Structure 1
Amino acid sequence: MSGEAVAALYLSDVRGRMRGVRTLGEGALAQLRDSEWHTPLAPDGNSAAVLVQHLAGNMHSRWGSLQEGYRAGTEGESAARNRDAEFEEGALNGAALLAVWAAGWRVFLDVLDHLSPDDLTRPLTIRGEIHTVLEAIQRQVAHYSGHVYQLILLVKTLRGQEWQTLSIPRGGSAAFNAAMLPPDGQG
Protein backbone atom coordinates (compact mmCIF):
# COMPACT_ATOMS: atom_id res chain seq x y z
CA MET A 1 0.00 0.00 0.00
CA SER A 2 1.37 3.41 -0.94
CA GLY A 3 1.93 6.22 1.53
CA GLU A 4 -0.88 8.21 -0.06
CA ALA A 5 -3.23 5.24 0.31
CA VAL A 6 -2.31 4.91 3.99
CA ALA A 7 -2.88 8.66 4.48
CA ALA A 8 -6.29 8.43 2.79
CA LEU A 9 -7.17 5.42 4.96
CA TYR A 10 -6.11 7.33 8.09
CA LEU A 11 -8.25 10.34 7.18
CA SER A 12 -11.25 8.12 6.49
CA ASP A 13 -10.78 6.31 9.80
CA VAL A 14 -10.26 9.44 11.93
CA ARG A 15 -13.32 11.10 10.37
CA GLY A 16 -15.50 8.13 11.29
CA ARG A 17 -14.02 7.65 14.75
CA MET A 18 -14.37 11.30 15.71
CA ARG A 19 -17.97 11.35 14.50
CA GLY A 20 -18.45 8.36 16.79
CA VAL A 21 -16.87 10.22 19.72
CA ARG A 22 -19.19 13.16 19.04
CA THR A 23 -22.18 10.80 19.01
CA LEU A 24 -21.13 9.30 22.36
CA GLY A 25 -20.90 12.77 23.87
CA GLU A 26 -24.29 13.70 22.52
CA GLY A 27 -25.75 10.50 23.95
CA ALA A 28 -24.48 11.50 27.38
CA LEU A 29 -25.52 15.16 27.09
CA ALA A 30 -29.04 14.11 26.06
CA GLN A 31 -29.41 12.44 29.45
CA LEU A 32 -28.68 15.59 31.45
CA ARG A 33 -31.47 17.37 33.25
CA ASP A 34 -31.57 21.14 32.75
CA SER A 35 -30.46 21.67 36.35
CA GLU A 36 -27.36 19.45 35.91
CA TRP A 37 -25.46 21.19 33.12
CA HIS A 38 -23.52 23.30 35.63
CA THR A 39 -22.98 20.53 38.22
CA PRO A 40 -19.40 19.32 38.72
CA LEU A 41 -18.68 16.10 40.58
CA ALA A 42 -16.12 17.78 42.84
CA PRO A 43 -15.55 21.35 44.06
CA ASP A 44 -12.79 22.04 41.52
CA GLY A 45 -14.20 19.73 38.85
CA ASN A 46 -15.58 20.60 35.46
CA SER A 47 -19.30 20.61 34.81
CA ALA A 48 -20.76 19.45 31.50
CA ALA A 49 -21.17 23.13 30.58
CA VAL A 50 -17.47 23.82 31.17
CA LEU A 51 -16.40 20.74 29.21
CA VAL A 52 -18.62 21.76 26.29
CA GLN A 53 -17.30 25.34 26.36
CA HIS A 54 -13.70 24.12 26.47
CA LEU A 55 -14.10 21.56 23.68
CA ALA A 56 -15.82 24.07 21.40
CA GLY A 57 -13.28 26.79 22.21
CA ASN A 58 -10.41 24.45 21.41
CA MET A 59 -12.01 23.26 18.16
CA HIS A 60 -12.58 26.81 16.93
CA SER A 61 -9.06 27.86 17.92
CA ARG A 62 -7.22 24.86 16.49
CA TRP A 63 -9.15 24.36 13.28
CA GLY A 64 -11.08 27.55 12.49
CA SER A 65 -8.34 28.99 10.29
CA LEU A 66 -8.25 25.80 8.20
CA GLN A 67 -11.93 25.77 7.26
CA GLU A 68 -11.10 27.00 3.78
CA GLY A 69 -8.41 24.34 3.41
CA TYR A 70 -4.78 24.05 4.45
CA ARG A 71 -2.73 27.26 4.41
CA ALA A 72 0.97 27.43 5.13
CA GLY A 73 1.87 29.44 8.22
CA THR A 74 -1.39 28.68 10.00
CA GLU A 75 -1.32 29.09 13.78
CA GLY A 76 -3.54 26.60 15.59
CA GLU A 77 -4.02 28.81 18.64
CA SER A 78 -6.26 31.74 17.78
CA ALA A 79 -5.15 35.06 19.24
CA ALA A 80 -8.82 35.75 19.99
CA ARG A 81 -9.20 32.67 22.18
CA ASN A 82 -9.76 33.20 25.89
CA ARG A 83 -9.03 29.68 27.14
CA ASP A 84 -9.40 30.60 30.81
CA ALA A 85 -12.97 31.81 30.21
CA GLU A 86 -13.84 28.37 28.84
CA PHE A 87 -13.40 27.00 32.37
CA GLU A 88 -15.71 29.53 34.02
CA GLU A 89 -19.30 28.59 34.76
CA GLY A 90 -21.61 30.67 32.67
CA ALA A 91 -25.34 31.04 32.51
CA LEU A 92 -26.01 29.25 29.22
CA ASN A 93 -28.83 26.73 29.34
CA GLY A 94 -28.71 23.23 27.87
CA ALA A 95 -30.07 24.24 24.46
CA ALA A 96 -27.50 27.02 24.10
CA LEU A 97 -24.71 24.70 25.20
CA LEU A 98 -25.78 22.08 22.68
CA ALA A 99 -25.54 24.78 19.99
CA VAL A 100 -22.01 25.65 21.21
CA TRP A 101 -21.14 21.92 21.11
CA ALA A 102 -22.51 21.51 17.57
CA ALA A 103 -20.69 24.58 16.26
CA GLY A 104 -17.34 23.38 17.62
CA TRP A 105 -17.72 19.89 16.19
CA ARG A 106 -18.87 21.35 12.86
CA VAL A 107 -15.59 23.26 12.56
CA PHE A 108 -13.39 20.27 13.45
CA LEU A 109 -15.22 17.72 11.32
CA ASP A 110 -15.49 20.10 8.36
CA VAL A 111 -11.72 20.57 8.40
CA LEU A 112 -11.16 16.81 8.60
CA ASP A 113 -13.48 16.37 5.62
CA HIS A 114 -11.49 18.87 3.56
CA LEU A 115 -7.95 17.74 4.37
CA SER A 116 -6.15 15.80 1.67
CA PRO A 117 -3.63 12.99 2.24
CA ASP A 118 -0.86 15.42 1.23
CA ASP A 119 -1.91 17.85 3.98
CA LEU A 120 -1.01 15.36 6.72
CA THR A 121 2.74 16.00 6.40
CA ARG A 122 2.42 19.80 6.21
CA PRO A 123 3.32 21.98 9.20
CA LEU A 124 0.79 23.41 11.64
CA THR A 125 1.98 25.57 14.50
CA ILE A 126 0.21 25.42 17.88
CA ARG A 127 1.38 27.99 20.45
CA GLY A 128 4.65 28.34 18.55
CA GLU A 129 5.31 24.58 18.48
CA ILE A 130 5.52 23.06 15.01
CA HIS A 131 3.53 19.88 14.37
CA THR A 132 2.60 18.06 11.22
CA VAL A 133 -1.12 18.23 10.52
CA LEU A 134 -1.19 14.51 11.36
CA GLU A 135 0.41 15.17 14.76
CA ALA A 136 -2.04 18.01 15.41
CA ILE A 137 -4.99 15.76 14.57
CA GLN A 138 -3.69 12.98 16.83
CA ARG A 139 -3.14 15.47 19.64
CA GLN A 140 -6.77 16.56 19.35
CA VAL A 141 -8.15 13.02 18.95
CA ALA A 142 -6.69 12.19 22.37
CA HIS A 143 -7.75 15.52 23.87
CA TYR A 144 -11.33 15.49 22.58
CA SER A 145 -11.86 11.81 23.36
CA GLY A 146 -10.60 12.33 26.90
CA HIS A 147 -13.04 15.14 27.56
CA VAL A 148 -15.95 13.27 25.99
CA TYR A 149 -15.26 10.33 28.29
CA GLN A 150 -15.18 12.78 31.20
CA LEU A 151 -18.63 13.92 30.11
CA ILE A 152 -19.83 10.33 30.00
CA LEU A 153 -18.52 9.62 33.50
CA LEU A 154 -20.02 12.84 34.82
CA VAL A 155 -23.47 12.18 33.34
CA LYS A 156 -23.41 8.48 34.25
CA THR A 157 -22.62 9.43 37.85
CA LEU A 158 -25.39 12.03 37.93
CA ARG A 159 -27.93 9.63 36.37
CA GLY A 160 -27.06 6.66 38.56
CA GLN A 161 -29.60 3.88 38.02
CA GLU A 162 -31.34 5.98 35.35
CA TRP A 163 -28.25 5.97 33.08
CA GLN A 164 -28.95 4.66 29.59
CA THR A 165 -25.85 2.90 28.29
CA LEU A 166 -24.17 4.18 25.16
CA SER A 167 -22.59 0.85 24.30
CA ILE A 168 -23.23 -2.86 24.81
CA PRO A 169 -25.20 -3.27 28.04
CA ARG A 170 -23.81 -5.42 30.84
CA GLY A 171 -24.65 -9.02 30.22
CA GLY A 172 -25.41 -8.27 26.58
CA SER A 173 -22.11 -9.17 24.91
CA ALA A 174 -23.14 -12.64 23.70
CA ALA A 175 -26.34 -11.36 22.11
CA PHE A 176 -24.49 -8.44 20.53
CA ASN A 177 -21.79 -10.73 19.13
CA ALA A 178 -24.40 -13.14 17.77
CA ALA A 179 -26.22 -10.29 16.06
CA MET A 180 -22.96 -9.22 14.38
CA LEU A 181 -22.45 -12.62 12.71
CA PRO A 182 -23.76 -13.26 9.20
CA PRO A 183 -27.04 -15.21 9.08
CA ASP A 184 -25.24 -18.46 8.17
CA GLY A 185 -23.09 -18.20 11.30
CA GLN A 186 -19.85 -18.08 9.30
CA GLY A 187 -17.49 -15.22 10.17
Structure 2
Amino acid sequence: MTTPLADLYLSDVRTRMRGVKALGDGALAQLRPGEWHTALSDGGNSAAILVHHLAGNMHSRWGGLRGGYAPGVEGETPGRDRDAEFEEGDRTPDELRAVWEGGWTVFLDALDHLQPADLTGTLTIRGEPHTVLEAIQRQVAHYSGHVYQIVLLVKTLRGADWQTLSIPRGGSAAYNARLEAEHR
Protein backbone atom coordinates (compact mmCIF):
# COMPACT_ATOMS: atom_id res chain seq x y z
CA MET A 1 0.00 0.00 0.00
CA THR A 2 1.36 3.42 -0.87
CA THR A 3 1.23 6.41 1.43
CA PRO A 4 -0.55 9.45 0.00
CA LEU A 5 1.69 12.36 -0.86
CA ALA A 6 0.01 14.67 1.68
CA ASP A 7 0.78 12.21 4.49
CA LEU A 8 4.41 12.01 3.39
CA TYR A 9 4.64 15.80 3.17
CA LEU A 10 3.21 16.39 6.65
CA SER A 11 5.48 13.73 8.15
CA ASP A 12 8.51 15.24 6.45
CA VAL A 13 7.75 18.87 7.32
CA ARG A 14 7.13 17.96 10.97
CA THR A 15 10.47 16.15 11.16
CA ARG A 16 12.38 18.86 9.28
CA MET A 17 10.99 21.72 11.33
CA ARG A 18 11.84 19.90 14.55
CA GLY A 19 15.35 19.63 13.10
CA VAL A 20 15.40 23.38 12.39
CA LYS A 21 14.32 24.03 15.98
CA ALA A 22 17.05 21.68 17.26
CA LEU A 23 19.62 23.60 15.20
CA GLY A 24 18.45 26.84 16.80
CA ASP A 25 18.47 25.22 20.24
CA GLY A 26 22.07 24.15 19.71
CA ALA A 27 23.15 27.62 18.64
CA LEU A 28 21.27 29.46 21.40
CA ALA A 29 22.75 27.10 24.01
CA GLN A 30 26.20 28.43 23.07
CA LEU A 31 25.34 32.07 23.77
CA ARG A 32 26.79 33.65 26.87
CA PRO A 33 24.26 35.66 28.91
CA GLY A 34 25.57 39.03 27.74
CA GLU A 35 25.50 38.04 24.06
CA TRP A 36 21.75 37.58 23.57
CA HIS A 37 21.38 41.29 22.80
CA THR A 38 24.49 41.57 20.59
CA ALA A 39 24.10 42.33 16.89
CA LEU A 40 26.95 41.90 14.42
CA SER A 41 26.41 45.34 12.88
CA ASP A 42 24.48 48.55 13.37
CA GLY A 43 20.89 47.86 12.46
CA GLY A 44 21.47 44.11 12.61
CA ASN A 45 19.36 41.69 14.59
CA SER A 46 20.50 40.19 17.86
CA ALA A 47 19.52 36.67 18.88
CA ALA A 48 16.99 38.25 21.26
CA ILE A 49 15.30 40.12 18.41
CA LEU A 50 15.26 37.05 16.16
CA VAL A 51 13.77 34.91 18.93
CA HIS A 52 11.14 37.55 19.70
CA HIS A 53 10.23 37.93 16.02
CA LEU A 54 10.04 34.19 15.34
CA ALA A 55 7.82 33.62 18.35
CA GLY A 56 5.57 36.54 17.43
CA ASN A 57 5.18 35.18 13.92
CA MET A 58 4.52 31.64 15.12
CA HIS A 59 1.83 32.73 17.56
CA SER A 60 0.19 34.95 14.94
CA ARG A 61 0.30 32.51 12.02
CA TRP A 62 -0.41 29.25 13.82
CA GLY A 63 -2.20 30.03 17.09
CA GLY A 64 -5.58 29.62 15.41
CA LEU A 65 -4.62 26.20 14.07
CA ARG A 66 -3.39 24.60 17.29
CA GLY A 67 -6.43 22.35 17.52
CA GLY A 68 -6.55 21.69 13.79
CA TYR A 69 -7.65 23.48 10.67
CA ALA A 70 -10.88 25.43 10.59
CA PRO A 71 -12.10 27.39 7.56
CA GLY A 72 -11.80 31.15 7.91
CA VAL A 73 -8.71 31.10 10.14
CA GLU A 74 -6.68 34.29 9.87
CA GLY A 75 -2.91 33.88 9.88
CA GLU A 76 -2.25 37.38 11.17
CA THR A 77 -3.74 38.08 14.57
CA PRO A 78 -5.09 41.60 15.02
CA GLY A 79 -3.13 42.24 18.25
CA ARG A 80 0.29 41.47 16.81
CA ASP A 81 2.77 44.34 16.84
CA ARG A 82 5.34 43.06 14.35
CA ASP A 83 7.40 46.25 14.47
CA ALA A 84 7.88 45.87 18.24
CA GLU A 85 9.41 42.44 17.64
CA PHE A 86 12.42 44.21 16.11
CA GLU A 87 13.05 46.51 19.06
CA GLU A 88 15.85 45.45 21.37
CA GLY A 89 14.41 44.70 24.78
CA ASP A 90 15.91 43.70 28.08
CA ARG A 91 14.60 40.17 28.45
CA THR A 92 16.89 37.76 30.24
CA PRO A 93 18.23 34.61 28.60
CA ASP A 94 15.74 32.51 30.59
CA GLU A 95 12.85 34.72 29.46
CA LEU A 96 14.04 34.53 25.85
CA ARG A 97 14.32 30.74 26.01
CA ALA A 98 10.72 30.64 27.26
CA VAL A 99 9.63 32.91 24.38
CA TRP A 100 11.49 30.63 21.92
CA GLU A 101 9.92 27.47 23.33
CA GLY A 102 6.45 29.03 23.41
CA GLY A 103 6.57 30.00 19.75
CA TRP A 104 7.83 26.63 18.61
CA THR A 105 5.22 24.85 20.75
CA VAL A 106 2.44 26.74 18.96
CA PHE A 107 3.87 26.08 15.50
CA LEU A 108 4.71 22.41 16.01
CA ASP A 109 1.38 21.75 17.74
CA ALA A 110 -0.45 23.25 14.77
CA LEU A 111 1.59 21.10 12.35
CA ASP A 112 0.85 18.02 14.43
CA HIS A 113 -2.89 18.66 14.27
CA LEU A 114 -3.08 19.21 10.51
CA GLN A 115 -4.60 16.46 8.42
CA PRO A 116 -3.80 15.78 4.75
CA ALA A 117 -7.14 17.24 3.61
CA ASP A 118 -6.32 20.50 5.44
CA LEU A 119 -3.45 21.28 3.06
CA THR A 120 -5.84 22.55 0.39
CA GLY A 121 -7.84 24.67 2.84
CA THR A 122 -7.47 28.44 2.84
CA LEU A 123 -5.52 30.42 5.43
CA THR A 124 -5.52 34.18 5.06
CA ILE A 125 -2.35 36.08 5.95
CA ARG A 126 -2.70 39.88 5.98
CA GLY A 127 -5.76 39.56 3.79
CA GLU A 128 -3.98 37.40 1.20
CA PRO A 129 -5.39 33.89 0.76
CA HIS A 130 -2.95 30.97 0.86
CA THR A 131 -3.56 27.27 0.87
CA VAL A 132 -2.42 25.77 4.15
CA LEU A 133 0.33 24.06 2.13
CA GLU A 134 1.51 27.44 0.80
CA ALA A 135 1.40 28.93 4.30
CA ILE A 136 3.50 26.08 5.66
CA GLN A 137 6.05 26.41 2.86
CA ARG A 138 6.20 30.16 3.42
CA GLN A 139 6.99 29.61 7.08
CA VAL A 140 9.47 26.78 6.45
CA ALA A 141 11.56 29.22 4.41
CA HIS A 142 11.03 32.11 6.85
CA TYR A 143 11.80 30.18 10.04
CA SER A 144 14.77 28.34 8.53
CA GLY A 145 16.22 31.62 7.30
CA HIS A 146 16.03 33.22 10.74
CA VAL A 147 17.40 30.14 12.49
CA TYR A 148 20.39 30.17 10.14
CA GLN A 149 20.84 33.86 10.99
CA ILE A 150 21.00 32.83 14.65
CA VAL A 151 23.54 30.11 13.81
CA LEU A 152 25.74 32.58 11.91
CA LEU A 153 25.47 35.16 14.67
CA VAL A 154 26.39 32.72 17.43
CA LYS A 155 29.12 31.05 15.37
CA THR A 156 30.65 34.48 14.75
CA LEU A 157 30.43 35.41 18.43
CA ARG A 158 31.91 32.07 19.55
CA GLY A 159 34.73 32.05 17.03
CA ALA A 160 37.15 29.22 17.80
CA ASP A 161 34.93 28.12 20.72
CA TRP A 162 31.99 27.31 18.41
CA GLN A 163 30.74 23.74 18.82
CA THR A 164 29.59 22.53 15.42
CA LEU A 165 25.96 21.53 14.99
CA SER A 166 26.60 19.37 11.94
CA ILE A 167 29.37 17.27 10.47
CA PRO A 168 32.69 18.81 11.59
CA ARG A 169 35.20 19.89 8.99
CA GLY A 170 37.29 16.95 7.95
CA GLY A 171 34.72 14.56 9.41
CA SER A 172 32.68 13.65 6.32
CA ALA A 173 34.36 10.29 5.68
CA ALA A 174 33.89 9.13 9.27
CA TYR A 175 30.29 10.35 9.27
CA ASN A 176 29.51 8.54 6.00
CA ALA A 177 31.16 5.34 7.27
CA ARG A 178 29.07 5.47 10.46
CA LEU A 179 25.85 5.94 8.45
CA GLU A 180 26.78 3.09 6.15
CA ALA A 181 27.45 0.79 9.12
CA GLU A 182 24.11 1.73 10.71
CA HIS A 183 22.20 0.86 7.54
CA ARG A 184 23.71 -2.57 6.98
The interval holding the TM-score normalised by the smaller chain is over 0.9
TM score, norm. by length of structure 2? 0.97
Aligned with 2:67: secondary structure?
coil
TM-fit CA distance, 1:30: 0.2
Deviates more, 1:132-141 or 1:62-71: 62-71
TM-fit CA distance, 1:182: 2.8
Deviations 1:46-94 (A, max 9, x none): 0000000000000000000111211111110000100001000111011
Q: Tell me which residue corresponds to 1:91.
A: 90
* Aligned-partner residue type, residue 156 of structure 2: T
Q: Tell me which residue corresponds to 2:51.
A: 52
TM score, norm. by length of structure 1? 0.96
Q: Tell me which residue corresponds to 1:78.
A: 77
Structure 2: how far apart are the matches of 1:71 and 1:181? Answer: 44
Aligned with 1:181: secondary structure?
helix
- Determine whether 1:8 maps to 2:10: no
* Total equivalences in the alignment: 184
Q: Tell me which residue corresponds to 2:149.
A: 150
Q: Tell me which residue corresponds to 2:29.
A: 30
Q: Which blocks of at least 5 consecutive residues in structure 1 are unaligned?
A: none
Which runs of at least 4 in structure 1 moved beyond 2 Å after TM superposition?
none
Deviations 1:119-151 (A, max 9, x none): 000000000000000000000000000000000
Q: Which blocks of at least 5 consecutive residues in structure 2 are unaligned?
A: none
CA RMSD of aligned residues (A): 1.4
